[in-house]
Amino acid sequence: MTLHEAQALHVQLVAKLITYVYSLGYELTWGEAYRTQEQAQWDADHGIGIAQSVHCDRLAVDLQLFKDGRYLTNSTDYAFMGTFWKQLNASCRWGGDFHTVDADHFSITWQGRS
């Protein structure tokens, strides 16, 4: 799979995730999708991210979850999304499973990175 094909797949899968979340009565707003390499390095240098982020490859998105107008920040609130996301494709990864939990992160693997 080429990078372009992976990016197109990610967009299609995110659309399915968004549709699913809204069907359950939740709402979403965008967080970070694309990240420059410079931003990824800055985040890594400051302990809030990694330098080789798949955000830089346009293969990750952070989605903020809302219910009844209230922003949900507990990682367990995102578990239903993570479960759904991971069943969409074998390459789907959810940040709630990461060593450093990042529950609003939905990505696909690329060159061994998630």
What is the C-alpha separation between 113 and 30, in angstroms, rounded? 22
Q: How many domains does the chain have?
A: 1
Residue 41: HSE in the Cβ half-sphere, 13 Å Cα cutoff:
3
Q: Which amino acid appears at position 67 of this protein? A: K
What is the model's pLDDT at position 23? 98
- Residue 33 covered by a domain: yes
CATH number at residue 44: 3.30.1380.10
- Residue 113 covered by a domain: no
Binning pLDDT at 50, 70 and 90, where does residue 20 land?
very high
Which residues form the domain of 72? 3-108
**Burial label, 31 (beta-carbon count in 10 A; 0-12, 13-18, 19+):** exposed
Q: Where are the beta strands (DSSP E) in 1-114?
A: 27-30, 60-67, 70-72, 92-94, 105-108
- Residue 40 covered by a domain: yes
- Residue 114 covered by a domain: no
| Range from 28-32, 47-51, 60-64 carrying the lowest mean pLDDT | 47-51
What is the model's pLDDT at position 49? 87
List, for residues 58-90, the tens digit of each pLDDT value.
999 999 999 999 999 999 999 999 999 999 999
